[in-house]
Structure 1
Amino acid sequence: MKKRKTDIILITIIILVAIISYFFISAFFKGEGTTVQVFQNNKLVKEFPINKDKTYEIKDKDKTNIVTVRSGKVFMKDANCPDKLCVKQGSISSNGESIICLPHRVIVKVTAR
């Protein structure tokens, strides 16, 4: 009986530590981003501020992605990839968030610089 009680206490402590760690990481490492970085084939191809509304075209041969910045948020407006999952992902604005287009090997990442 005593062994079971200590197991329950140990499991409760582990769960509490996990919850506290999650909130600590969320509070200190998330935040509003200031810069958008676009990588293509693991190379930085564009970098621009998130607070300036503009549309950017990322091209590589027949592969095209259109990245739009509007009201401090970034989203993939259009892409000519077959699945368009990057377009369906929606907008991002916080530090560390990203949009990835696997068929075109494009990564749009928000950073806090």
Structure 2
Amino acid sequence: MNAAQSDFQQLRIKLILFKSKVRSAVYGGTPDQEFFSSSGPMGQWFRTIGAVRYSDLPEIGTMSRLYKELVSTANHLISQYRSGKIEEAHEGLKDIDKLAEQLTRLISAVEGRLV
């Protein structure tokens, strides 16, 4: 596995964990506020690996925007859950899945070009 494959595999794993933590939070688990902030693992990846190694790729900007949208959506769903709008929060997980799918497609496209 070359460096690019490893870098993007790390991002995929962080995305899977992100989705899992959102799902847990809207099904009654305690939300990890740090994780859902820009200083969380995915935010760190974009600020370090993404910005340093891949900043010349136009997709990185789009991927970063999708990540920020994921964070915003996750925080909104957690807020809905906390305010008693449980069904709406559960329904909103579809938005998380759509954004994650878009991000995954971009990751695969970039990785495919670099390998």
Shorter-chain TM-score range: under 0.3
Higher relative contact order (CA 8 A, sep 6+): 2
More strand by share: 1
